[in-house]
């Protein structure tokens, strides 16, 4: 990359390929971080969207391939892997979700595998994909981030989709009255009608914050962990460019050690997002009041 300083290298690797309206009024790609900021809300992170779609297609194609080659005899490696994942997700749903909804298990499987695949891109050396993109386009200054889950726009988009399902099923199962009752008549209640009315603003404030915290916590937990992991890989990569043999050797050791540990992180974060989604949707299906 063109940046010679460590700070320039880090900033370049943490900047998305952004498409939006330029200060001139035309639509195009941002060439600097300042241009990306000036594009505002209607800017698109092309790299995030592209890799998210690519990982989704890989997920669909792998499972489709496993389904077409499925056999009742001796299964292949891919069929074994898919069956293990399906069994794992199915048991997680049965243990956690207490309602009846055929959507939950497929949704949980999609979330787990899709997020895992997006997270797994972080195991590719940090320079390989950006350098390849720069060579393909002929632009050595090209911004290109390959891990969608290090972009808060992607994690918040997934979390808001789950949040939409929470609201939908809360209203469907409990009715609009029951949903509003949960927001205004809990956690503080009283048999006295006047006291109930007085407590409504307090209850609504507490319950509304709890409700809104669900998608925010889902998004920020995944983003924070993956962003930190990517940053560690970038910092280790800086050691290789220091030109000092000792630092380069240490960088190789740290790279392998962090990659092995990061396998646990990318799996755990996909699992946590999936489990919290199941728990939140299970709560949305509860009609106890």
- 101, 161, 221, 282: which one is catalytic? 221
Reply yes or no: is the peptide bond before residue 194 cis, omega within 30 of 0: no
The verdict on whether 221 is a catalytic residue reads yes
The verdict on whether 217 is a catalytic residue reads yes
- 217, 248, 282, 288: which one is catalytic? 217
CA distances from 237 to 141, 220, 255, 258 (A): 18, 25, 8, 12
The verdict on whether 190 is a catalytic residue reads no
Q: Which residues contact 214 (CB under 8 A, 6 or more apart)?
A: 159, 162, 163, 166, 276, 280
Which contacts qualify for 169-175: CB closer than 8 Å, 24 or more apart? 169/101, 169/281, 169/284, 169/285, 170/284, 173/99, 173/284, 173/285, 173/286, 173/287, 174/287
What is the C-alpha R_g of the chain? Answer: 23
- 16, 170, 203, 225: which one is catalytic? 225
Mind telling me the catalytic residues?
217, 221, 225
């Amino acid at each position: 990359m063109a940046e010679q300083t460590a700070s320039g290298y880090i900033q370049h690797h943490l900047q998305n390929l952004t498409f939006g309206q330029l200060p001139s009024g035309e639509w195009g790609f941002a060439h600097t971080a300042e241009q990306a900021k000036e594009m505002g809300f209607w800017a698109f992170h092309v790299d995030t969207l592209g890799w998210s779609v690519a990982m989704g297609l890989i997920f669909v194609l792998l499972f489709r391939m496993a389904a077409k080659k499925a056999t009742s005899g001796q299964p292949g490696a891919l069929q074994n892997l898919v069956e293990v994942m399906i069994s794992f997700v199915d048991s997680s749903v049965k243990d956690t979700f207490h309602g009846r909804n055929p959507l939950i298990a497929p949704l949980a499987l999609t979330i787990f595998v899709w997020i895992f695949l997006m997270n797994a891109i972080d195991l590719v050396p940090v320079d390989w994909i950006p350098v390849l993109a720069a060579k393909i386009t002929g632009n050595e200054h090209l911004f290109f981030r390959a891990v969608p889950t290090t972009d808060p726009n992607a994690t918040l988009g997934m979390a808001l989709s789950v949040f939409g399902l929470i609201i939908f099923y809360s209203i469907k199962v409990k009715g609009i009255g029951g949903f509003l009752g949960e927001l205004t008549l809990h956690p503080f209640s009283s048999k006295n009608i006047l006291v109930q009315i007085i407590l409504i603003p307090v209850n609504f404030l507490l319950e509304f914050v709890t409700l809104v915290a669900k998608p925010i916590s889902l998004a920020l937990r995944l983003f924070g962990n993956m962003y930190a992991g990517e940053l560690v890989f970038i910092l280790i990569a800086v050691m290789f460019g220091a030109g000092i043999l000792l630092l380069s050797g240490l960088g190789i050791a740290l790279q392998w050690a962090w990659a092995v540990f990061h396998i646990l992180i990318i799996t755990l974060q996909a699992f946590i997002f999936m489990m919290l989604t199941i728990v939140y949707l299970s709560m949305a299906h509860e009609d106890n009041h």
